[in-house]
Chain A
Amino acid sequence: MWNYTDKMMDHFLHPRNVGEISDADAVGEVGNMACGDALKLYLKIDKSDTCITEAKFQTFGCASAIASASALTELIKGKTVEQAEKITNDDIAAYLGGLPKEKMHCSVMGQEALEAALAKYRGSSPAPREEGKIVCTCFGVTDTKIARVVREHNLTTPEQVTHYCKAGGGCGGCIGEIQAIIDEVWRKERERKAQRATPRKYLTNIQKIQLIQETIEKEIKPTLRADGGDIELIDVAGNTVIVAFRGVCAGCPASGVTIAAVVEKKLREFVSPEITVREAQG
């Protein structure tokens, strides 16, 4: 049995804002019965201040699909179109106190219905999301959509992709293709980062130190801090960068590996391929 939160069960057993709005200003519809879930979202929007005055829904789906739709309507009521546009599936999941990872696609469906409705309201078509080549034929998921969930949710495995957009969850025949899309997304991401960093061919010493400092701040610290560690730049002598580790990284027997794997790799990528990194002694 799924590990559903009390709040999720409450929204499933007593869904808020169920129904239709006959004179809705915008309607968003996603999913279909073959997929096992579908959501139709109706919005009433005040023309003067674009405030969403009423939101209703109809859902065909499992308990978490119903609860996600209920949560979505609660989240957007009273918000302006601009504010509502910023709501993501993570907000829906968070509102319900979290969803099992296999059920994240239910919250994604909520976000997509909202996007479809708002796009209709603005008179533009929500087409860009639907374009691309169908990769998962079981659930009709395109490469564009897969690449988007990979980027937006920092996904690295086909299994995670299935949790977020169902792709690969049917016959499994497209798992290899999904992996290729994931690899491509992250390869491009790396290229993009590298491009941003490479043009500086002739750096003065001060520029170089600044760039090293900036790279440590933006590219290295967040990774280490996520694990409870930290890093400090001590000195730069030519192409040798001397750093000290703080927090859980300090005195960690694996810090030799950390330098090689993370710091040096990043500095070589963003500053200069000649950089070597040493840990400060004592």
Chain B
Amino acid sequence: MNTVYLDNNATTRVAPEVLEAMLPFLRDFWGNPSSMHSFGGQVRKHIDNARRQVAALLGAEEDEIIFTSCGTESDNAAIASALAANPCRPHIVTTRVEHPAVFGLCQRLEKEGHQVTWLSVDTRGMLDLDEARRAVRDCTGVVSVMWANNETGVIFPVEEVGKIAKSAGCAFHVDAVQAVGKLPVTLRQSTIDFLSLSGHKLHAPKGVGALYIRKGTKFTPLIVGGHQEMGRRGGTENVASIVGLGAACELAGKHMGEEQTRGRGLRDKLERALLAAAPDTRLNGHPEMRLPNTTNISFEYVEGEAILLRLNELGICASSGSACTSGSLEPSHVLRAMGVPYTAAHGSVRFSLSRYTTGGEIDFVITHLPPIIKALREISPFGRKGR
């Protein structure tokens, strides 16, 4: 059975070029870049090169990039550092739809005594900038907002939010884990002070991420240890993965246009076909202000886990905001923040494409998903009109 992988917002395949770039550093050049001998020291220039590649994709300077272990670490480091830099500004502004990396951290900080303002979103998942303006105050230490939502793909107007943060003189962090590689980023002309990204969302391996720290921004390391990463992140560098992340960023830059045209075309085709194929079906998220690779569709009267496991039988990989898929009993906090009714949130399915997605795979899903929905609705005691 072929795997039809449409869960790229969860993780992506390692690009073959990325793997090739990494292998020498697992096989031959396994030295420590901090060593005083050339066997180790020769590795250093490859890390520097990777830093250049990441900086190039972000429109930033090399010395503004540090490598981390993942997007979550980057988020934690940025927010913790912003708060540490200004102890007299303990207030945090973030949104109700953040990824758990930021959401969970801010919940904990709230428990520890930080005031947190959770910005709401409308039914299409968009922020109200006036609400953001009202939220920011003199004691706000950091505004942290995601660039693109992992569940719905909805894109926030980060520069607009950044202006609000800057007007109050507080640090601005952006979780860009889903945006980098899919949307053009130019940090040189930006209000962003900290930006997080993750390797495995853009065809690099898991276990590597990066954090952009604007030049001149006060930074306190989260992981304290050696002098690595200009003293900003202790721990021996994950050389092969860092090289892989650099290569992945360079590839992402090359394929960016393709994501916006070919990728978007496939996504739109899938979305249109699924919305048309079954009644009582809705799109979650703003129809336009969205990543080109993501679609989140609710099928009323059926439950997401049941859909996923039936798709799994056909080799189709997707994900759901249903409660049952997470082990928690509440459906997705993102869909609930958008006011999606419980009935629709339980039956939500997210498809996220990549540049490796083919037209044939999209056709396969368009053929096989509607009968699954029909079969599950026939089992369901609800929604007779939906059949």
B323 partner residues in chain A, CB cutoff 8 A: 36
Partner of B310, one of A13, A36, A40: A13
Given contacts A13-B313, A15-B379, A59-B380, contact A33 B306 (CB under 8 A): no
B304 partner residues in chain A, CB cutoff 8 A: 62
B378 partner residues in chain A, CB cutoff 8 A: 18
Q: Mark B325-359, 1 if CB is under 8 A from A, else 0.
A: 10111110000000000110010000000000000
Q: Which residue of A lies closest to B345 (CB)?
A: A36
Interface set, chain B 287-335, CB cutoff 8 A to A: 301-306, 309-310, 313, 322-325, 327-331
Is B382 an interface residue, CB under 8 A from the partner?
Answer: yes
The complex places the Cα of A103 from the Cα of B329 at a distance, in Å, of: 10
Taking a contact as CB atoms under 8 Å apart, the answer to whether B327 and A60 are in contact is no
B330 partner residues in chain A, CB cutoff 8 A: 138, 169-171
A58 to chain B, nearest CB (A): 4
A61 partner residues in chain B, CB cutoff 8 A: 303, 306, 324
Taking a contact as CB atoms under 8 Å apart, the answer to whether B346 and A12 are in contact is no
Chain B: interface size category: 20 to 34
Is A37 an interface residue, CB under 8 A from the partner?
Answer: yes
**Given A33-B301, A40-B381, A139-B329, 6 other A-B contacts at CB below 8 A?**
A33-B343, A36-B323, A37-B303, A61-B306, A62-B324, A62-B325
B324 partner residues in chain A, CB cutoff 8 A: 36-37, 61-65, 103
Determine which residue in B313, B324, B346 has the highest number of CB atoms from chain A within 10 A of its CB, and name it. B324
Determine which residue in A62, A63, A64 has the highest number of CB atoms from chain B within 10 A of its CB, and name it. A62
**Interface CB pairs A-B, < 8 A, 15:** A13-B310, A29-B381, A33-B343, A36-B303, A36-B346, A58-B379, A58-B380, A58-B381, A61-B324, A62-B304, A63-B305, A103-B324, A139-B329, A169-B328, A170-B329
Q: Which residue of A lies closest to B331 (CB)?
A: A36
Q: Which residue of B lies closest to A106 (CB)?
A: B324
Taking a contact as CB atoms under 8 Å apart, the answer to whether A12 and B329 are in contact is no
Partner of A102, one of B306, B309, B327, B381: B327
The complex places the Cα of A170 from the Cα of B343 at a distance, in Å, of: 15
Determine which residue in A29, A63, A139 has the highest number of CB atoms from chain B within 10 A of its CB, and name it. A63
Is A254 an interface residue, CB under 8 A from the partner?
Answer: no
Is A111 an interface residue, CB under 8 A from the partner?
Answer: no
The complex places the Cα of A162 from the Cα of B330 at a distance, in Å, of: 12
A117 partner residues in chain B, CB cutoff 8 A: none
Taking a contact as CB atoms under 8 Å apart, the answer to whether B313 and A33 are in contact is no
Taking a contact as CB atoms under 8 Å apart, the answer to whether A169 and B343 are in contact is no
Taking a contact as CB atoms under 8 Å apart, the answer to whether A60 and B382 are in contact is yes
Interface size on A, residues (CB 8 A): 31
Is A66 an interface residue, CB under 8 A from the partner?
Answer: yes
The complex places the Cα of A1 from the Cα of B306 at a distance, in Å, of: 12
Taking a contact as CB atoms under 8 Å apart, the answer to whether B343 and A65 are in contact is no
Determine which residue in B331, B379, B382 has the highest number of CB atoms from chain A within 10 A of its CB, and name it. B379
Q: Which residue of B lies closest to A102 (CB)?
A: B327
Is A257 an interface residue, CB under 8 A from the partner?
Answer: no
A273 to chain B, nearest CB (A): 45
Partner of B305, one of A29, A39, A62: A62
**Shortest Cβ-Cβ A-B pairs, 7 listed:** A169-B329, A62-B324, A58-B381, A62-B305, A40-B381, A34-B342, A60-B380
Interface set, chain A 170-208, CB cutoff 8 A to B: 170-171
Taking a contact as CB atoms under 8 Å apart, the answer to whether B342 and A33 are in contact is yes
Q: Which residue of A lies closest to B328 (CB)?
A: A169
Partner of B303, one of A18, A65, A138: A65
Partner of A66, one of B306, B313, B322, B329: B306
Is A266 an interface residue, CB under 8 A from the partner?
Answer: no
Given contacts A18-B378, A38-B382, contact A62 B322 (CB under 8 A): yes
Taking a contact as CB atoms under 8 Å apart, the answer to whether B329 and A33 are in contact is no
B171 to chain A, nearest CB (A): 31
Is A44 an interface residue, CB under 8 A from the partner?
Answer: no
A139 partner residues in chain B, CB cutoff 8 A: 329
B331 partner residues in chain A, CB cutoff 8 A: 36
Taking a contact as CB atoms under 8 Å apart, the answer to whether B329 and A36 are in contact is yes
Q: Mark A15-37, 1 if CB is under 8 A from B, else 0.
A: 10010000000000100011011
The complex places the Cα of A102 from the Cα of B329 at a distance, in Å, of: 9
Interface set, chain A 60-84, CB cutoff 8 A to B: 60-66
Interface set, chain A 94-143, CB cutoff 8 A to B: 102-103, 138-139
A65 partner residues in chain B, CB cutoff 8 A: 303, 324
Is A166 an interface residue, CB under 8 A from the partner?
Answer: yes
The complex places the Cα of A37 from the Cα of B306 at a distance, in Å, of: 11
Partner of A34, one of B310, B327, B343: B343
Taking a contact as CB atoms under 8 Å apart, the answer to whether B381 and A38 are in contact is yes
